[in-house]
Chains A and B, each alone.
Chain A
Amino acid sequence: MLATTSKHKNKLFHKISIDKGLVIGLIIIILFLLIAILFPLIKILGTAISKEAIPYFVHYFKSSVYLGIIWNTIKLGLVVGFFGTALGFLFAYVQVRTNVPCKRFMHLMALMPIISPPFAVATAAIELFGRSGLITYELLGIRYNIYGFTGLTGVLVLSLFTVAYMNFQGMLRALDPSLDEAATNMGATKWDVFRTVTIPMLIPGIASSFLLLFVEAIADLANPLVLGGDFTVLASRVYIAIAGEYDVFAGAVLSLILLIPSLTVFILQKYWVSRKSVVSVTGKPSGRTMIVTNPFVRWGLFILAMFFSCLILLIYGTILVGAFTKLFGINYSFTLEHFKYVIFGLGSQAIMDTSKMSLIATPIAGLLGMLIAWLVVRKHFIGRGILDFISMLGIAVPGTVLGIGYLLAFNNPVIVNSKVILPSLAGGTAIAGGMIALILAYIVRSVPAGVRSGISSLQQIDPSIEEASISLGANNTTTFWKVTLPLIRPAFLTGLVYSFARSMTSLSAVIFLSTPEAKVMTSQILNEVDAGRFGNAFAYCDMLILIVLIVIGILYLVVGKSMVVNQNLGVSS
């Protein structure tokens, strides 16, 4: 027997067996990241630092107009970050730490912005609070100018605070009540506990919400286009450079300038702030969450949160009613004209195209998200961190920047040594009328959310469950399909829902990619808003929201059914 072992010992090179499924999965993901994210970004970088682009840099950093635009962008990010974090915290605190009525309603209102199309909130805000607004002019008799920094900030805060809300809600729920009890036990009042335990524990969460909102605010395109007025930010300036001036170099250089703060803040958030988190998710929370009992605090918070909830309801009500109103602000009579235009007229193709492309992108993005999450959490290979980082770029890079990157990368075929390596994917003359680039953009923008929810879900599941499957003879592919995916089904569902909603409502990344054969709904909405046909815009928005809700409903029925997965069992001890 010993003879056999020494014979094996003499073998210098062992043939290491490799799981084929794993390798194929990895190759698909690497190809996707290379083509859909890295290549466009490299194209932008190449254009922005080319010889022809240098004069642009010189011009921008000397011109007070452009320095003003850069400052506007930063200012908008900071202010929206601050107020969005505050509003998100208010909603989360009321939800977790108070015992007040209408909590369900407030929760729903806080989630509304997820399925909200771009322009919807801004347009409704103009109708309600603008110069001839229903509330400002008709009710209060004020000719308020909503265009500019203040109006833009208000609308952005209301459209973006959901991220902060969900973040804080999760953290407040995860806070161990026994810490509060320990502080109280040592003589702290409720205010002391809030000041010395709750807030310090949440500081990483506060920082991370602020930074995420900053990134989203400076990347936003739709609202500055509609509400900016004289207040120009980088994102809208980039759009004008490409769509109005057809100046690719200006677009690329401005994109790079916008990319720098976005990526810096994103990296800060991901690799520094989120590591500082002291809120532990593991361990059994003991004791009962302490509820605010002081009536002034309790009802004060309630009134504040209710005010914003009602405001959101009012805005979405306007989006609904506005679609049936002849001319908001002048003629409030009922009409179906707008829907006729949208459903049977020019709008039908955009609705069909966008839905079709989103439906194709959704399952791909959902699966890719789960696959990347699985590889990142479970598999140990070199470059795991890089894979995670690049997959997150889809959301870290402002949509406008990504859109220009796609324009530069995919409008013409990639030719090396007079051989076509990659055919043209974007533009009317590309294969499938430019749909492939649009679908890729949808996927890239949706994958990060799936990856995040997949990662947090997988981290809760004991790895030995998957090892058990392997030990029983299943390979990695079988284990992923038969064990991992069923176990992280809630995260998968979240990824799918988010992908579809995100794709349908996406604007900045795809606005340059829309072609006559592949019409994007959100870009049609922009046309209507630009032309002042708000009724048509509202009808589009309503259709979009309806489609998103229907598909989410179907997804829950198909993917979410019989969700008997007992998560407790999967939690590692």
Chain B
Amino acid sequence: MKPGKKETGFLTLTNVSKTFEQGNNVVKAVDDISLEIMGGEFITLLGPSGCGKTTTLRLIAGFETLTTGSLVLDGKDISYQLPNERSMAMVFQSYALFPHLNVFENVAYGLRLKHMRDSEVKETVDLILHMMNLVGLEKRSPAQLSGGQQQRVALARAMVMKPKVLLFDEPLSNLDAKLRTQMRLEIRHLQQQLGITSVYVTHDQVEAMSLSDRIVVMNKGKIEQVDRPEEIFLRPSSLFVADFIGRANFIETKVIQQKEDSSLVNVFGIDYWVVCDPTVKVGEKAYLMARPEAIKLQDLNGKKNGEIISTIYLGSTVEYELEVDGMNLLAVDASPKYDQLLSEGKKVSIYIDPDRSYILPYDGNE
């Protein structure tokens, strides 16, 4: 579903901040963030632990009270509405199923609070259990379910409420890798089917990439970048984003010339035209961000200014750590051939694929 297609579930955060007092210290967990989430959009808050992503989610849910700023859902200010009165449902990291209720009653919990008739409750719950592949487990207690099943029940319990916004707090982090991939697909599928606005918190960039319409990268309580996954990956707005999403080499350089959105730089003796961050000007220092896949190692003629320090064979890829002009770089060969593996100590020439690179402003810290 394309963002903005739905009428309901349009959520706006305006200048939202949250501070906590810890003894004498005041910690700014969320620092003046503004964000518009379209109806039906799947948006992910991504960042390292302590970046404020979970606090932001809890502010949206109403479990934390705003220090400043406002929340508006479909034109209605909900900044100070009680969490149980917000049309939102949350899926928790720990599943948070009611251990004293069976699967059916867990899912029916919210419906019963609405004083729905028993027959209607049964009909609604049965439908969602069918959708979530949970038929036959109605009478089981949560303790008798596997991790994946528990998370499905948690998902069903939230979705059955038909909330305007679904909130996910790292729901897959307690599952094993294989199940995680499978659940990821299921969540995306269901969300698109039902078209419910979703806010998803994770520190796993693969999860963020595969699920989201847009990703919000957060750092130290602030938003670093909000964009579609491919933009975030290929056109990061800062060193932090580039470093956090995927792996990258940052090579210090200077902009020689500019045309349209590209800049000319010279790296390791070769000139490249690379797409450039709009804030970088001619003559300024800058970073050439090159993903490991963008670095091509050639055993051909030309200047052999690189030396392989280590070779790590990973099956479908090979990673090379190399030294070039006193700098360490990481290169990945995505389709290694058996007889073309480069051994440690080997001299190579280096070519950077400009289409998979980007020029970032120099911040003087790196």
Contact = CB atoms under 8 A, between A and B. Distances in A.
A23 interface: no
Contacts, number: 114
B10 A472 contact: no
A471 interface: yes
| Residue from A9, A17, A468, A469 whose CB has the most chain B CB atoms within 10 Å | A468
Contact of B143 (A4, A471, A568): A568
Contacts of B14: 5-6, 8-9
A184 interface: no
A573 interface: yes
Main SS class of interface, A: helix
A483 B15 contact: no
Interface in A310-362: none
Interface string A449-489: 00000000000001011011111111100100011001100
B262 interface: no
Contact of A475 (B77, B84, B90, B92): B84
Interface in B70-96: 70, 72, 75, 77, 79-85, 88-90, 92-94, 96
| Residue from B72, B97, B158 whose CB has the most chain A CB atoms within 10 Å | B72
User: Chain B, interface size: which category?
Assistant: 35 or more
Interface in A284-314: none
B30 to A, nearest CB: 17
Given A17-B82, A462-B96, A9 B15 contact: yes
Nearest to B102: A564
| Residue from B77, B80, B94 whose CB has the most chain A CB atoms within 10 Å | B94
A280 interface: no
A14 B100 contact: no
A482 to B, nearest CB: 8
Nearest to B61: A471
Nearest to A562: B100
A5 B69 CA distance: 10
A433 interface: no
Interface string B153-193: 01001100100000101000010000000000000000000
B94 A573 contact: yes
A474 B12 contact: no
Contacts of B98: 465, 468-469, 483
Contacts of A464: 92-94, 96, 169
Contact of B83 (A15, A462, A471, A567): A471
B272 to A, nearest CB: 40
A19 B169 CA distance: 25
A468 B82 contact: no
A570 interface: yes
Interface residues of A, number: 39
B147 to A, nearest CB: 11
B347 to A, nearest CB: 49
A468 B15 CA distance: 27
Given A569-B143, A570-B99, A1 B92 contact: no
Contact of B89 (A6, A472, A482): A472
A572 interface: yes
Contact of A573 (B89, B110, B174): B174
B270 interface: no
A487 B90 contact: no
Contact of B90 (A14, A468, A482, A568): A468
B96 A468 contact: yes
B313 interface: no
A49 interface: no
B109 interface: yes
Contacts of B240: none
Nearest to B65: A16
A472 B113 contact: yes
B84 A17 contact: no
Nearest to B88: A471
Contacts of A572: 94
A465 B81 contact: no
A567 B174 CA distance: 18
Interface string A549-573: 0000000000000001111111011
Nearest 10 Cβ contacts at the A-B interface:
A472-B110, A566-B143, A468-B96, A464-B96, A569-B99, A471-B90, A464-B92, A8-B77, A486-B100, A5-B14
Interface of B: 10, 12, 14-15, 36, 61, 63, 65, 70, 72, 75, 77, 79-85, 88-90, 92-94, 96-100, 109-110, 113-114, 141-143, 154, 157-158, 161, 167, 169, 174
12 contacts: A1-B36, A4-B72, A11-B77, A17-B82, A467-B61, A467-B96, A471-B158, A472-B110, A482-B109, A483-B98, A565-B100, A569-B142
